[in-house]
Chains A and B, each alone.
Chain A
Amino acid sequence: AQTVTQSQPEMSVQEAETVTLSCTYDTSESDYYLFWYKQPPSRQMILVIRQEAYKQQNATENRFSVNFQKAAKSFSLKISDSQLGDAAMYFCAYRSAYNTDKLIFGTGTRLQVFP
């Protein structure tokens, strides 16, 4: 069974600085998708970024980028030029390309942004 691990329960960053959130996963599959979701205080899950495992190029989305290391099964999220609105819970998630019935989530990292 696949698992997703986020080893940082909490992180903090100064406004305008850069922060990296860690995520590792375990799978025996070769094709899959990885996601970062943001959950602000409103609790709605918002897609931040998505990575296809077959793509070697790291996904980017404005100030958000990932460092995808397939061999190491690592999928970290870098937030550049942090803003107060980035404060939220961030969840890493895995979805199989073969068994597409669900997302498997990590336990989340709470990010605080200080002015």
Chain B
Amino acid sequence: DGGITQSPKYLFRKEGQNVTLSCEQNLNHDAMYWYRQDPGQGLRLIYYSQIVNDFQKGDIAEGYSVSREKKESFPLTVTSAQKNPTAFYLCASSDLIGETQYFGPGTRLLVL
């Protein structure tokens, strides 16, 4: 089955700790995205990547980092510089030509 997987489903971060959220897709999509969702709000773009070894900042990139070493994978690291990391994180991908973004099941990040 083609789709997008995210792991873990729940993640707990201690103060001063970096944590990495995984996102994998087998849809052969070129573009991948990371969004953050806070209660009562829509999604906001953190980072996106249109091609391997290239990525761009979104609207709220501060305190986050990404890599795109493989077409299928786009991990997001929440660094200790992100002062309010508690949120729901959604990964998405799209075919550059098709425009529509498809989403993974998300990761809930909580701070201990």
Query: Chain A: residues with CB nearer than 8 A to chain B?
Result: 4, 33, 35, 37, 42-47, 50, 91, 93, 95, 97, 100-108
Contact = CB atoms under 8 A, between A and B. Distances in A.
A52 B90 CA distance: 24
Contacts of A101: 45, 48, 50, 56, 58
A107 B40 CA distance: 6
A67 to B, nearest CB: 20
4 shortest A-B CB distances, which residue pairs? A105-B42, A45-B103, A102-B45, A44-B105
A108 B42 contact: yes
12 contacts: A42-B105, A45-B43, A45-B90, A47-B100, A101-B56, A101-B58, A102-B48, A102-B58, A105-B42, A105-B43, A107-B41, A108-B42
Given A100-B99, A102-B59, 4 more contacts: A33-B99, A37-B103, A42-B105, A104-B42
A32 to B, nearest CB: 10
Interface residues of B, number: 25
Interface in B75-105: 88, 90, 92, 96, 99-105
A91 B58 contact: no
B99 A95 contact: yes
A107 B44 CA distance: 11
A44 B104 contact: yes
Contacts of B92: 45
B76 to A, nearest CB: 15
A45 B102 CA distance: 8
Contacts of A100: 96, 99
Contacts of B96: 100
Contacts of B104: 44
A95 B33 CA distance: 14
A91 B43 contact: yes
A47 B88 contact: no
B45 to A, nearest CB: 4
A108 B40 CA distance: 8
Contacts of B48: 101-102
B21 to A, nearest CB: 14
